[in-house]
A and B are shown apart, each in its own frame.
Chain A
């Protein structure tokens, strides 16, 4: 059994996808022990505490918003979108890399996806939760958010289906539901493993309920694999559609800086770009905290860095195209918008965008930089900042000067704008901390299949 002809994946000269020597048992032991044996590093507690504190900030900010209304934010005509929509677009973009890893790489049969898909999917779900919050909060009367859905009401009027804002409701809620389903289906066999390994009665019962009585029957696996593959096939076009619809929120309007056909692909690339930056930002500390270097190897970081570079270049093309079209189109409003973007009051933010999203990723051309973990972490953090700034420029800078100079107005974020942003980061990291504590961060059943595939050793 030792020397068999396993089809080798490409790039075998590089670091392996899984460090050799693991068996079905040891791979399961290592991942499940984080949850079952409570081998949580002490750093979990201060991390969780800090996140919970930031979550508290969100609760207070939302309470303040409900009490005083959207006037506590810096928004005013013509900049009615401000931080809320900036944060929405940023968060939903982050989610995209998770779906790309879990669905698209599955369809492409990329083995390196196996050890990172679980927490990338978790990241997607938590990012979509944060994203979904903002459009609702900025509604003005958030308690009536359900008016967005076509339900029979006494008003008789239905939502306007020709509006991108209604498309958003359908796109984002579908995206959240499908991501959650995909994540849960992948977790079912792992819940069964945790059920079988749990020692305390109520823990066993909890995981037992979640596993739905999964017992690994051959025909069950067959249907499971088919359903999983089909979900991946459904999630892939979905993820492209979600940020496309988000970009329609802008590009369907007539505003200079928004009304552009490059927006859908440019937004999707930007989403994947920022999402991969966030995956790297999360992978590096999780891998260090739980000592998962054998499962998340240099190969994974290297591949993600390459994807970061690729999508970064597409985003750079988007910037270039926007600038070029502003000049080529010879529309005075477009070109004055672009001049303002480069030299106006929000100019420095745009230069931060260019530095972080176009300049910084260029170091990833070098293999040495892709293998340098601290450097990669810094690059990913800067891209996160750069992508947030990009969304800010698109939303605020384009809005603050439209056609009539009499209507121009500056937007300055208030304390509550910042507090809500920090609070959403708190919500995200609180959910992330709870996830690593209570659920397996790596798919155990897929790792077992990988061990079998790569080593041909079934037992030890």
Chain B
């Protein structure tokens, strides 16, 4: 259990995307693992530097698309052939070409819903509170500053030495982050 006043970690502020990329690289080399970086726009290669390589989003979207396609087609099949068959002018009950449109639309619909909800769920959003919001300067993370957070839970974390290390990376400022 964490109490207010406990230390979540340290937050270092950088002025440009190159700075944060370099800082993450050096911190990884120094053995830090429990880190996260916060940027005002997607910085290419930053997630990879942090050890995040494969996002599960494409698989989730594929699953959504398949569910939508199968669901859409089977829905029409079941309604027209099984549940309430109506003979309209002798046309086949199972008229596959006519079922394509609704199947297609539902494929897109479910895949898109999975894409958005999957992305949010994998990111653990919505999350109204996060310790980094306690640092006043963090408000700039959505404008023009780049932040590196090193968690106190990291085995190499030391309040004094980690702070010195981060300052040595050229940080504009280093703050304690309360939980």
Contact = CB atoms under 8 A, between A and B. Distances in A.
A64 B74 CA distance: 41
A162 B87 CA distance: 12
A156 B125 contact: no
B101 to A, nearest CB: 4
Interface in A403-460: 445-446, 448-449, 452, 458-459
A219 B47 contact: yes
Contacts of A216: 38-40, 141-142
A222 B47 contact: yes
A225 B105 contact: no
A24 B75 contact: no
Contacts of B50: 218-219
Given A218-B38, A223-B119, A208 B112 contact: no
B136 to A, nearest CB: 10
Nearest to A25: B144
A192 interface: yes
- Interface hub of B58, B61, B105 (most chain A Cβ within 10 A): B105
Interface in A351-375: none
Interface string B31-46: 0000011111111001
Contact of A231 (B95, B106, B116): B116
B130 interface: yes
Contacts of A459: 15-16, 144-145
B139 interface: yes
B143 interface: yes
A288 B14 CA distance: 36
A156 B39 CA distance: 55
A221 B141 CA distance: 13
B47 A448 contact: no
B26 to A, nearest CB: 16
B108 A234 contact: yes
Nearest to A221: B42
Interface in B112-128: 112-113, 115-116, 118-120, 122-123, 125-128
Interface string B5-42: 00000000001111000000000000000001111111
Nearest to B104: A241
Interface in A219-238: 219-227, 230-231, 234-235, 237-238
A174 B84 contact: no
Interface in A137-173: 150, 156-158, 160-162, 166-167, 170-171
A248 B102 CA distance: 13
Band of interface residues on B: 35 or more
B55 A178 contact: no
Given A158-B80, A162-B98, A213 B36 contact: no
Nearest to B35: A218
A448 B17 CA distance: 11
A215 B40 contact: no
A185 interface: yes
A161 B97 CA distance: 11
Given A220-B123, A241-B104, A181 B40 contact: no
Contact of B112 (A25, A158, A219, A234): A234
B43 A218 contact: yes
A218 B37 contact: yes
Interface string B88-114: 100100010011011011101101110
Contacts of A184: 116
Contacts of A446: 41
A96 to B, nearest CB: 15
B18 A213 contact: no
Contacts of B141: 196, 215-216
Contacts of B61: 227, 230, 234
Contact of B108 (A178, A212, A227): A178
B79 interface: yes
A25 B16 CA distance: 12
A287 interface: no
A214 B101 contact: no
Given A189-B142, A216-B142, A223 B108 contact: no
A184 B112 CA distance: 12
Contact of A192 (B95, B115, B132, B142): B142
- Interface hub of A181, A192, A214, A218 (most chain B Cβ within 10 A): A218
Contacts of B37: 217-218
B133 to A, nearest CB: 7
Contact of A241 (B39, B98, B101, B123): B101
A161 B125 contact: no
A97 B80 CA distance: 36
Interface of A: 1, 23-25, 28, 150, 156-158, 160-162, 166-167, 170-171, 174, 177-178, 181-182, 184-185, 189, 192-193, 195-197, 208-209, 212-227, 230-231, 234-235, 237-238, 241, 245, 248, 445-446, 448-449, 452, 458-459
10 contacts: A213-B130, A217-B36, A219-B50, A222-B52, A222-B55, A226-B55, A227-B61, A235-B112, A237-B108, A458-B15
What 9 A-B pairs come out closest when comparing CB atoms?
A458-B16, A212-B126, A227-B119, A24-B144, A196-B139, A221-B42, A222-B47, A213-B127, A449-B41
Interface of B: 15-18, 36-43, 46-47, 50, 52, 55, 57-58, 61, 75-76, 79-80, 83-84, 86, 88, 91, 95, 98-99, 101-102, 104-106, 108-109, 111-113, 115-116, 118-120, 122-123, 125-130, 132-133, 138-145
